[in-house]
Structure formats: structure tokens, C-alpha cells
Amino acid sequence: MTIESIIEDFELLDSWDDRYRYLIELGRKLPPFPEDLRGDATKVQGCASQVWLASHSTGGPDPVLTFDGDSDAHIVRGLVAILMELYSGRSAGAILDTDPNAVFERIGLREHLTPQRSNGLRSMVERIRADARLARQNGQPVS
């Protein structure tokens, strides 16, 4: 699955009930998040529900990052799945150059998120971007 296919799937769904169901289904497809990574170091601050994000990167001047994530809330887990598809496997530079708002505008999701979920989404994106900046700054793998 790609971010483009997710956007296309959202565009095919007429009702917001169907779109929320699809979002929840995306979250269910996330790989299991390792229990040993559920801690303060991976917990995203600023989210009303519990969210964990872990990053791993290659070394070099523009390292490639991969992400694992999870949440205890179904809709938020779906948002995590979209962010994983958008950012995981990309270089730090590409991550920092990617505007997630454009994707969420295309999906039409921004206006359908509660203020708490919107704040949580911003916190998740900032965490991903901070990991990309750190990996790029260090030029060494992070985990």
C-alpha cells in the first residue's frame, strides 16, 4: 500500500462513517508494536490517547528512517498508519520536506478530526520530524 493508494481509497468513499471505518481498518493492519518499546522514550507527548513512535535509521549525511507506531485508540491508530506510510522508508531530507497537511487536505480528514486529535496528529508529525533532524544531524543510526 502506498500513500497515493490510501488517498485514492479515501476519495472513493462517500460518507464519513465509511472513511472512519477505513481509517480504523488501516490501523488494524499496522504490524504489532514491540512491548519492550512501549515506554517514555517512544511515547508521544501532546496526544490525548497513548501513542508510541519508534524510529530506526541508517547512517550517512541523509539517512533513511523507518518508523514503528501504535496507539490505544482505533482512529488514532489509523492516523499512525497513514503517517507510517507517508514517512517510513524515506530519507531525513525527504521527511523534512514533506508537508503532511497537503496529504490530510487531499483526504479531507483535517476538518473531520476533533481538536484533540488534530493536536495529537501535530505532535506525532513533530516527533517524526525531530527524529529526522536528529538522524541527519548525527549522520549515524538511531533506534
Which residues are marked as active site? 47
DSSP state of 60: S
14, 67, 137 from 94: Cα distances, Å = 32, 14, 14
3-state secondary structure of 70: strand
Sheet containing strand 51-57, strands side by side = 51-57, 64-71, 90-91
Distance CA 117, CA 112 (A): 10
